[in-house]
Amino acid sequence: MNQIAIEATGLVKTFGNIRALDGLSFNVAKGEIFGLIGPNGAGKTTTLRILATLIKPSSGSAKVFGLDVEKDASEVRRIISYLPEEAGAYRNLSGREYLEFMANFYSLNNHDSHVAVEDAAEISGLGERLKDRVKTYSKGMGRRLLLARALMMKPRLAILDEPTSGLDVVHAYHVRRIIQDYVKTYGVTVLLSSHNMLEVELLCSRVALINEGRVIGEGTPQELKSFHRASNLEEVFMEATKLG
217 within a domain of the structure (yes/no): yes
Query: What does the pLDDT read at residue 86?
Result: 76
For 162-209, the pLDDT digits (tens) are 888 878 888 888 888 889 988 998 889 999 998 888 888 889 999 999
Query: What does the pLDDT read at residue 194?
Result: 86
Query: What does the pLDDT read at residue 189?
Result: 96
Query: What does the pLDDT read at residue 107?
Result: 62
For 106-134, the pLDDT digits (tens) are 765 788 889 999 989 988 889 999 999 99
For 6-20, the pLDDT digits (tens) are 999 999 999 999 999
Query: What does the pLDDT read at residue 108?
Result: 58
Residue 243's pLDDT band (cuts 50, 70, 90): low
Spatial strand order in the sheet of 33-37? 80-83, 157-161, 189-194, 33-37, 206-211, 214-219
The whole-angstrom separation of Cα 179 and Cα 160 is 10
Domain containing 21 — which CATH number? 3.40.50.300
What percentage of the chain has pLDDT greater than the value 70? 98
State yes or no: pLDDT of 39 exceeds 60.
yes
103 within a domain of the structure (yes/no): no
State yes or no: pLDDT of 21 exceeds 50.
yes
State the maximum Cα–Cα separation within the chain, in Å, rounded to a whole number: 55
Query: What does the pLDDT read at residue 97?
Result: 96
Residue 87's pLDDT band (cuts 50, 70, 90): confident
Number of domains in the chain: 1
- Per-chain mean pLDDT for the chain: 91
107 within a domain of the structure (yes/no): no
98 within a domain of the structure (yes/no): no
Query: What does the pLDDT read at residue 170?
Result: 85
Give the mean model confidence (pLDDT) for residues 58-63.
Answer: 97
Taking phi over 0 as left and psi of -120 to 50 as alpha, with beta for the rest, 97 belongs to alpha
Residue 90's pLDDT band (cuts 50, 70, 90): confident
117 within a domain of the structure (yes/no): no
135 within a domain of the structure (yes/no): no
State yes or no: pLDDT of 1 exceeds 60.
no
Distance of CA 189 to the CA centre of its chain: 9
| Domain span at 11 | 4-86+155-243
106 within a domain of the structure (yes/no): no
State yes or no: pLDDT of 34 exceeds 50.
yes
184 within a domain of the structure (yes/no): yes
Tell me the pTM. 0.91
